[in-house]
Structure 1
Amino acid sequence: MKEILFPFTFVLFIMITYGFSFFEKIFNFSDTLGWMKVHFEKTPIKSLIPIGLVVLLIGELITFLLSIYAFHSLFYFDQNDSIEWMMVANIFCLLLMLIGQRFAKDFDGARTIVIYLIPSLLAMIYL
């Protein structure tokens, strides 16, 4: 039971995190874009914010879909191979957000991203 509990729980965590994040950004796209423009207005990447948001949304959607696939693979086939792809997408999104927070000199935001990054990296080792 222990062998399967951690992968299920972690995949479910990723699914919930990225599902909510993606749909929140989609349904509040203009508010999210407005917030990001203000957040990054004093950075060298301020002109890249609209495309950066789209790239982040695509990354979050891919991570969310891969988490659904990984959960399905674990539940029905007892296979965790698909978790690796989900983790790659997850780490990509987290690093993208971390780089953005560092450009914005938002150290509290960067620290929050690292809080998600640490268990993700540990999960890659465990899984």
Structure 2
Amino acid sequence: MNYITEILILLFLAITFLQSGYDKIVDWNGNVGWLKSHFANTFLEDKVPFSLGLILILEIIAGILSLAGIWFLFNNCKEIALYSGIVSCVTLLFLLFGQRIAKDYDGARTIVIYFIPAIFLVFLLK
């Protein structure tokens, strides 16, 4: 139980990103349609499918690394967990960027709630 805080944060990130990735896969067309209207009149309007695919890949990688990081922490190896935190932060920064471009300031504020534990994980593992 040397890494209980880190493990709990990794579980949080795994649930967050794997569920979000799953939702994007299951309802790809619904997500693309909603995001096209969300990014209407921005430079991202024509890049929604590509951007969504990029976010999907990052979320799946972050989620898998989070699960792997838990296993590695039980074996006293912090490196994979640290990579998980870094990929999670980068993913959330991409999402924050999109929300700010769309001028969805409430959505951007919500991303910060997820960013805090992710950056704390990086701080704990650095």
Secondary structure of 2:56's counterpart equals helix
For structure 2, list consecutive stretches of 5 or more residues without a partner in the other structure. none
Q: Which residue of 2 aligns with 1:45?
A: 44
How far has the Cα of 1:123 moved from its partner?
2.1
Q: Which aligned runs of 4 or more in structure 1 are off by greater than 3 angstroms?
A: none
Secondary structure of 1:44's counterpart equals coil
2:94 pairs with 1:96: yes
Q: Which residue of 2 aligns with 1:71?
A: 70
Q: Which residue of 2 aligns with 1:7?
A: 6
Aligned AA (2:103): K
Q: How far apart, in 2, do the equivalents of 1:114 and 1:27 lie?
A: 26
- Matched length: 125
Q: Which residue of 1 aligns with 2:85?
A: 87
Q: How far apart, in 2, do the equivalents of 1:80 and 1:9 lie?
A: 14
For structure 1, list consecutive stretches of 5 or more residues without a partner in the other structure. none
Q: How far apart, in 2, do the equivalents of 1:119 and 1:67 lie?
A: 13
% identical aligned pairs? 36
Q: How far apart, in 2, do the equivalents of 1:125 and 1:19 lie?
A: 23
Q: How far apart, in 1, do the equivalents of 2:116 and 2:63 lie?
A: 19
Choose which of 110, 116, 119 in structure 1 pairs with 2:117.
119
Q: Cα deviation per residue 1:32-74 (whole Å; 9 max; x = unaligned)?
A: 1111101001212111111000100110111111112111212
Higher mean alpha-carbon deviation, 39-48 vs 94-103, is at: 39-48
Q: How far apart, in 2, do the equivalents of 1:7 and 1:125 lie?
A: 10
2:116 pairs with 1:106: no
Q: How far apart, in 1, do the equivalents of 2:124 and 2:83 lie?
A: 15
Considering only aligned residues, what root-mean-square deviation do their CA atoms show, in Å? 1.1
TM-score (norm 2): 0.93
